[in-house]
Amino acid sequence: MPPEVRAAYADALAVVGNPSSIHSAGQAARAVLDDARGRIASTLGVDAVELTLTGGGTEAVNTGVKGLYWRRQRDVARPVILLTAAEHHATLDAVDWLVANAGARAVIVPVDPAGRMRVDALEDALATHGDAVALVTMLAANNEVGTLQPVTEAAALASAHGVPLHVDAIAAYGQLPLAPLPAGVSAVSISAHKIGGPVGVGAIVIRRGVDVEPLLHGGGQQRGRAGTMDAAGAVAFAVAAEHAHADLESRAAHKRALRDRLAAGIRESVPQAVLSGALAEGATGDALPGTVHLRVPGAEGDSLLFLLDQAGFAVSTGSACQAGVPEPSHVLLAMGVSESDARGALRITLGPETTAADIDGLLAALPSAVERALAAGLAARTPRLGR
């Protein structure tokens, strides 16, 4: 969290009053919150009224998926949700819940070997299921392998079929320019903590003319959400958003240069490693500027993680939300990687303060970690019931 975000957050915490109250303290808090909402919205090129603040990215995603699904059932049954198997678990688990409890039917759109949604398959799915489609939901960029997704093309297809499109842009927000949002995008989820804001603060863009059923019912303080609004969190989110977007191009270029330096170093010093996603050998397209994903066949990703952690480098075996679960990456499995190879996955993410020395230090530590992880081999697995 940058110093200016911390300072703004602390100052805003001193503002007393419920933003929905009509007394002067409440109206002062409301003015602070409305200003923050407008500043966040401007980074996406949307109006403030289109931005609903949430208690984090997961709530935003659930509002986009469940809220759009429930609203689409009002006049006629539309059970089909189109998505890839490489989505974030906030989406996958929300869809699974709708399948188990609300009559939904998930139709999986395949991804290519880089983890990119196949537009031709989406077009076929929309044509096949027609009026039965409730919504399409997709990532702006894959949160594990970093591959950028064809949002503009998907939005055009969804719009042509009269189907709303929800985009989980949490991994991409503040990393790449998202404004203006493509025509046909109905909702976009973002989160503050990915850009140096506080944890537990997020937002969803609900475009004009789009309605969602709320997850929370109560005072109806916002479009699609009830509950007292977090003015201080909104202020910190706004400052973090402006900070990230003010230098977005230079920050992205800095991380992209270090990303490419790291990828080249991995190819040279760790020939056993296989880069994933858009950075893989022969792949096309691009990835997030600060993400490098690799796998080491024959090694456990957890072994690599612990060995690098001992060397002073914090890396991940997948998305942080699932990093404590010792299972192969569902993203890699969706990309056609074997289960054994997927177990050797490692995700490395770079920040705006990452230096070339950091990259060189990691490259110096990586060969030894790979050698030791390969010597340890793959751990025995206990079959999970129902799988």
Which domains does the chain carry? 3-246 (3.40.640.10), 248-376 (3.90.1150.10)
Q: What is the pLDDT of residue 326?
A: 60
Q: What is the pLDDT of residue 324?
A: 54
Do strands 291-295 and 345-349 pair parallel, antiparallel, or not at all (unpaired)? antiparallel
Given a contact cutoff of 8 angstroms between Cβ atoms, the answer to whether 20 and 220 are in contact is no
DSSP calls for 80-131: EEEE-TTS-HHHHHHHHHHHHHS--EEEEPPB-TTS-B-HHHHHHHHHHHGG
Given a contact cutoff of 8 angstroms between Cβ atoms, the answer to whether 20 and 222 are in contact is no
Single-letter residue type at 158: A
- Closest to 215 in 3D by CA, of 96, 63, 104: 63
Q: What is the pLDDT of residue 87?
A: 98
Given a contact cutoff of 8 angstroms between Cβ atoms, the answer to whether 168 and 58 are in contact is no
- Closest to 203 in 3D by CA, of 72, 70, 320, 58: 58
- Rounded CA-CA distance 315/354 in Å is 13
Spot the catalytic one: 321, 363, 365, 376.
321
Phi, psi of 208 (to 5 degrees): -55, 140
**Which residue positions in the chain have pLDDT lower than 50?**
384-387
Q: What is the pLDDT of residue 17?
A: 84
Do strands 274-275 and 291-295 pair parallel, antiparallel, or not at all (unpaired)? antiparallel
Q: What is the pLDDT of residue 318?
A: 72
Q: What is the pLDDT of residue 333?
A: 96
Q: What is the pLDDT of residue 166?
A: 98
317 by Cβ neighbours in 10 Å (0-12 / 13-18 / 19+) ranks as buried
Q: What is the pLDDT of residue 386?
A: 43
Q: What is the pLDDT of residue 385?
A: 43
Per the annotation, the verdict on 321 as an active-site residue is: yes
- Rounded CA-CA distance 316/318 in Å is 5
- Closest to 11 in 3D by CA, of 27, 34, 30, 29: 29
Q: What is the pLDDT of residue 342?
A: 93
Write down the pTM of the prediction: 0.94
Q: How many CB atoms lie within 10 A of CB 381?
A: 12
Q: What is the pLDDT of residue 377?
A: 86
204, β-bridge pairs: 52, 189
- Rounded CA-CA distance 64/215 in Å is 10
